[in-house]
Amino acid sequence: MAGSLDSLLSKCTTLSLPHTKQLHAHLFTTGQFQLPMSPSRSKLLELYALSLGNLSFAILAFSQIRTPSTNDWNAIIRGFIQSPNPTNAFAWYKSMISKSRKVDALTCSFVLKACARVLARLESIQIHTHIVRKGFIADALLGTTLLDVYAKVGDIDSAEKVFDEMVKRDIASWNALISGFAQGSKPTEALSLFNRMEIDGFKPNEISVLGALSACAQLGDFKLGEKIHGYIKDERLDMNAQVCNAVIDMYAKCGFVDKAYLVFESMSCKKDIVTWNTMIMAFAMHGEGCKALELFEKMDQSGVNPDDVSYLAVLCACNHGGLVEEGFRLFNSMEMCGVKPNVKHYGSVVDLLGRAGRLHEAYDIVNSMPTMPDIVLWQTLLGASRTHKNVEIAETVSRKLVEMGSNHCGDFVLLSNVYAARERWADVGRVREAMKNRDVKKVPGLSYIEDNGVIHKFYNADKSHESWREIYAKLDEIRFRVKEYGYVAETSFVLHDIGRGGQGKCFGSS
């Protein structure tokens, strides 16, 4: 009877709570519940913890077992992965070890997945040490899980090391590291690995192309992005909305918003909320405010309710398109539409008003927020004060930033620029002295450009590139040509002790 029940339950993925309780009672009355090894008991715990989402019932049942097996422990630990408190998985893992219970590769895998949810790097390192000590490192599934958790916590070097040491890799291993590189601001490495994966005979799937498209978007590598899009169409991976969303995002970030919209319009799979948001944000990035507003209205008419990201995207569109009244109206309508504005929405509307020179209105909105404004919000207003040379607001905001403990170089530079624009050189000197006393250094600007498949990186006034002389000669030529057409560089923000010749040269790279 026990064997047939084990076999039946192994194929069962879900039961109602009453039926699960009946099974629980049956195991008790037949004596199977206290067997040293009982697959049915472990399955019962899984049903409680996973299928029914009732982890407290599972823990109660577990507490009744005299000698829990490894599978019993694993069922509870696995239940914590999607629970509100995933860190409890690590606490149970430590309890297992302290009670000298046998830990297997699955135990480690489940705990690592819980660590990934809360980005618990130190705990992941401890489990990694245990994995090596127990000889589980050869397990391909566990290796991939370990790689994935390192990538998610931002420890890309450790993720790469795990990948390099893996005896056997599967498509999930490659995908985990490609995604890790892409999410960890290492797009060049992500694309190199994507290419290497294909050479090694692994066929990219939906997850693979998501990482590669993200990397192309970061680098602005349109040619490779277009090539990957061709592969997606050939392999019919575009039946996946998430993949289509990534293609739209890639084209938009590479500067081809028309191609992005063509993908949006020709999608054969159902558009989700992310699809609409991505396209609205694409129009926003390219200053197509009216098109973004039209699409926002079309989304609402199609039965897709805007969420907080939708409003953020359309506010950004109004911001970049100079549609002040439309943006302000949408911001004020959010709560009536069931969407509560967060700090990003406030930041966007403050930027919107700030660009329009309505600094006092922007300041009043920041002060009327139901939550504490963050540093970025005040910095946005400070930037607007610099644009409109408003010393009063700039000084007020700077004091707020100092009170909040901000020590960002940009705060000092912006205030200094406002003073410079008003030729208040003594105040400029005072700000510079404050920067010196606080050891605040201005971070140089940085630009990337792709040429013939090679990514080049430039800092402001950079002379480290092998072709820097030719580059500066070309910049001089561009500077000369734009002056012929009447361009006059804005030098009012440049500090007075830079000569007129030096001010003109500020129009250059990065």
pLDDT for 190: 96
Looking at residues 350-376, what average pLDDT do you find? 92
pLDDT for 1: 47
pLDDT for 498: 43
Looking at residues 138-144, what average pLDDT do you find? 88
Tokens of residue 498, six digits: 């830079």
Looking at residues 271-279, what average pLDDT do you find? 97
Q: What pLDDT digit, counting tens, does each position of 297-313 carry?
A: 999 899 899 999 999 99
pLDDT for 384: 92
Q: Find all residues with CB under 8 Å of 221, minimum gap 6, and list them.
A: 191, 215, 254, 450, 455
Q: What pLDDT digit, counting tens, does each position of 217-271 carry?
A: 999 999 999 999 999 999 999 999 999 999 999 999 999 999 999 999 999 999 9
pLDDT for 485: 76
Between 409 and 237, where is the model more confident?
237
Looking at residues 2-31, what average pLDDT do you find? 67
Between 499 and 468, where is the model more confident?
468
User: What is the rounded distance in angstroms from the CA atom of residue 138 to the CA atom of residue 318?
Assistant: 54
3-state secondary structure at position 232:
helix
Q: Residue 161 pairs with which residues in a beta bridge?
A: none
pLDDT at residue 502 is higher than 80: no
Instruction: Give the closest residue to 123 by CA, choosing from 162, 160, 87, 81.
Output: 87
pLDDT for 6: 55
102-116, 133-147, 296-310, 480-494: range with lowest mean pLDDT: 480-494
Q: What pLDDT digit, counting tens, does each position of 62-75 carry?
A: 998 999 999 999 99
Q: Work out the burial of residue 507: count CB atoms within 10 Å of its CB; fewer than 13 is exposed, 13-18 middle, 19 or more buried.
A: middle
pLDDT for 53: 77
Cβ-contact 280, 296 below 8 angstroms: yes
Q: How confident is the model at residue 499 (pLDDT cuts 50, 70, 90)?
A: very low
Q: What pLDDT digit, counting tens, does each position of 156-187 carry?
A: 999 999 999 998 899 999 999 999 999 998 99
Q: How confident is the model at residue 12 (pLDDT cuts 50, 70, 90)?
A: low
Give the chain's mean pLDDT.
87
84: left (phi over 0), alpha (psi -120 to 50) or beta: alpha
Given the DSSP bridges, would you call strands 454-459 and 446-451 parallel, antiparallel or unpaired? antiparallel
Greatest alpha-carbon span in the chain: 95
Ordered alpha helix ranges (H), 303-374: 308-321, 324-333, 343-355, 359-367
Q: How confident is the model at residue 43 (pLDDT cuts 50, 70, 90)?
A: confident
Q: What pLDDT digit, counting tens, does each position of 335-355 carry?
A: 998 999 999 999 999 999 999
Between 196 and 506, where is the model more confident?
196
Cα 204 vs. chain centroid, distance in angstroms? 22
User: What is the rounded distance in angstroms from the CA atom of residue 11 to the CA atom of residue 9?
Assistant: 5
The CA R_g of the chain, rounded to the nearest whole Å, is 29
User: What is the rounded distance in angstroms from the CA atom of residue 295 to the CA atom of residue 314?
Assistant: 9
pLDDT for 7: 56
pLDDT at residue 280 is higher than 70: yes
- Residue 449: what are its φ and ψ, rounded to 5°? -145, 140
pLDDT at residue 14 is higher than 80: no
Q: How confident is the model at residue 497 (pLDDT cuts 50, 70, 90)?
A: very low
Looking at residues 188-200, what average pLDDT do you find? 96
Looking at residues 273-297, what average pLDDT do you find? 96
3-state secondary structure at position 456:
strand
Q: Find all residues with CB under 8 Å of 242, minimum gap 6, and list them.
A: 206, 210, 274
Q: What angle do CA 311, 316, 322 make, to 5 degrees?
A: 125
pLDDT for 19: 73
What's the pTM value of the predicted model, to 2 decimals? 0.75
Instruction: Give the closest residue to 178 by CA, choosing from 140, 206, 137.
Output: 206
Q: What pLDDT digit, counting tens, does each position of 437-494 carry?
A: 887 777 666 777 767 767 777 777 777 777 888 888 888 888 888 877 776 666 555 5
